[in-house]
Structure 1
C-alpha cells in the first residue's frame, strides 16, 4: 500500500537466480533498442544494475549489505531521494525472545550501514522504522506473541529531533488494554508518517496528509519531529 499512487516507483530486489551474463544483457539491449515502450525501462534497469553490481550477489541479501545498497542508490548522482526497505521474519508467534535478538541485530546493522554509506548526507536524513501491525501484550503458549493492534515506530537520523519517546502512554495493566489483549493505540501510523514527511520536506501538514492518506478521517500532526 505504501507504493500505491500516481507517482512511478523504482524497486530493486536481490535474486537467488544466477546472474545473467553480459552477453545476454547486450542481446536484450539490442532487441529493445527500437522498442518505444521497453527501451527506456530497460535502460533504467541497466543503470540501476550498474549502481548495485558489487552488492547484488550473496552479500546483498544480508542486512548490512542491504543498508549499504540503499545508501549507494541514495547518494548516486541523480539518485533516489526516498528509499523503502521491507524486511520479513517479524511474525514472532513462537520463541519470540531469541528470534527478536537476531532480527534487531540485523536491523541495527542495516541502519548502521545506511549511516556509514550516506556519510555527511546523514545529517539531513530521516529514517522511519515502522510495522503494519502490533503484537499482543501477553505471551502465548509457545513463548511468542500473536497479532495485535498497538505498536511503535522509530525515527532516526541527523535530521531527527531525537533522544525522546513521543507517546500518550496508556499502560499495560489489564484495564488499559485494548479489547483486553492489545496495547491501546493512541496515535495512528498514518498521522506519524504524514507528520514526518511534512516536517522533513517542509511541506504543508494538511495537504501532505491528504495526498499520502486520502481516507484519513483526522489530519492530526505530531510536532517537533525534525531539528530546527
Structure 2
C-alpha cells in the first residue's frame, strides 16, 4: 500500500501540459474500451488522475494522481502512484474488522476447547473470509505490477519531462493537501499569521471510519456477552 512520489519538470507551460495530457488519455466511460489509447484519465483544472486501461477490472490497480503547477519557464507535475484513496480506506477497514472478528472466533474456539465443549467450526468463517480478502488483494497487486512505473513513464513522455522520485509524504501531509483553502478572516479580527485549517471531506471520512472501527471493536464483545 506504499505510495511513490514523483516530480516531473516539463519545459511546456501548465496550459499546454494540461492539453497534452488530455489529448493523450481517454476519459472513463462505456465506450472507452474502443479507443486505442492505453491510459484512462481525467485532466481538469490542472489536476491529473490516470490509470492504465484494462479489459478486466482490477480494483487494486494503481493510479497516478497529481497537480500541474508553474515552474520557472515551464511546469511541474508533482504526483504520487498508488491505490485510489477510497480503495485504501476500504482495504484498511476490511482488514481491521476482519482481523478483529477472526480473533473473536479464535478466542471462542479456545474457550470451548479449554472447557471441553464441542467446537462449532462456523466460528472459523471470519478467518476464511479474511484469508479470501487477502488473497484477492495479493492477486490484484500481482496483476497490477509495474503499472505505477508505466504511468510515470507515460506522463513523462507526454510532457517531455524527466521523472525524479521523491521521498514519500506522510499521511498528515497528504490530508492537509486535500483540505480546501482557508476561509478569509472576518474584518477587524486580528491575524496571528497562521491560516485557519478547515477539515475537508476526505479528512472527515477518515475520522468517521476510525470512529466506526472503534465502535465496532467496543460493542462486539459486549454483544457477545449479552447473547452469551
TM-score by length of 2: 0.27
Which structure shows the higher helix fraction? 2
Which protein, 1 or 2, shows the higher relative CO under an 8 Å CA cutoff with sep ≥ 6?
Answer: 2
